[in-house]
Amino acid sequence: MESLLLAWFRRHGRDLPWRGSRDAYAILVSEVMAQQTQIARVVPRWEEWMARWPSVEALAAAPLADVIRAWQGLGYNRRAVSLHRAAVVIARDGWPGDLTSLPGVGRYTADAVAAFAFGRDVLPVDVNVQRVMERTGASFGPAAAQALMDLGATVCLARVPRCAACPLADGCPSRGRRYEAVRKQGPLEGSFRQRRARALRAVAAGASAVADAEAVESLARDGLVHVDGGRVALPGQ
């Protein structure tokens, strides 16, 4: 199955700007941005980010407030704080052997950086990779990582897979199946996530007071804002 998948990938793989790079920092930024964010939104933001902070040292030296502002619109803003903290660690100490020791870096992200930047013999398993492996029942090696990601993201979809377009369909025991939608989280409208996002946008735009005290308190716990005598500001301001 792997040879069929790789042949498909050569023809249909996504053209992503960080692919083919061995720059561990560039790959780390792409992986952190892509967590729970659509790739179409990530690509232009990654390009802007890399133009502004082209190295881990540049990001480490940047004010955290600027990093948080630059992240606006990608969602899950704690990722910006963790990425900045990770850059500070790397700039000071170098890349650790255990990448999961970096702030905000879990097993998948560590494996992705290890495989794509450092050439380690590991298969990063995200939700797309896991889905393809579970449905096909097949085993794949590290060389198939990006192909598996693309197949899961564009063909072997979570609810209604496009089996007619799948290079693995002939040998797939799950061919033709449909799946129940799985809601990972509630709708954004009216949620506490939306309130947090609005509060952070206001502070990033220069507001020193925000009426939603609960949202501000939550942001402060995550290191996204600080409160001093009733004044709310981004870190370092």
Residues that are catalytic: 31
Residue the block writes with tokens 């609810």: 159
- Cα–Cα distance for residue pair 22/112, rounded to 1 Å: 11
Helix (H) / strand (E) element for 226: namely strand 226-228
Query: Tokens in use for 55?
Result: 């190295």
C-alpha separations of 130 from 81, 153, 173, 208 in Å: 28, 11, 15, 45
Task: Tell me which residue has tokens 């042949």.
Answer: 7
Q: Name the burial class of residue 139, with classes exposed (0-12), middle (13-18) and buried (19+) by CB atoms within 10 angstroms of its CB.
A: exposed
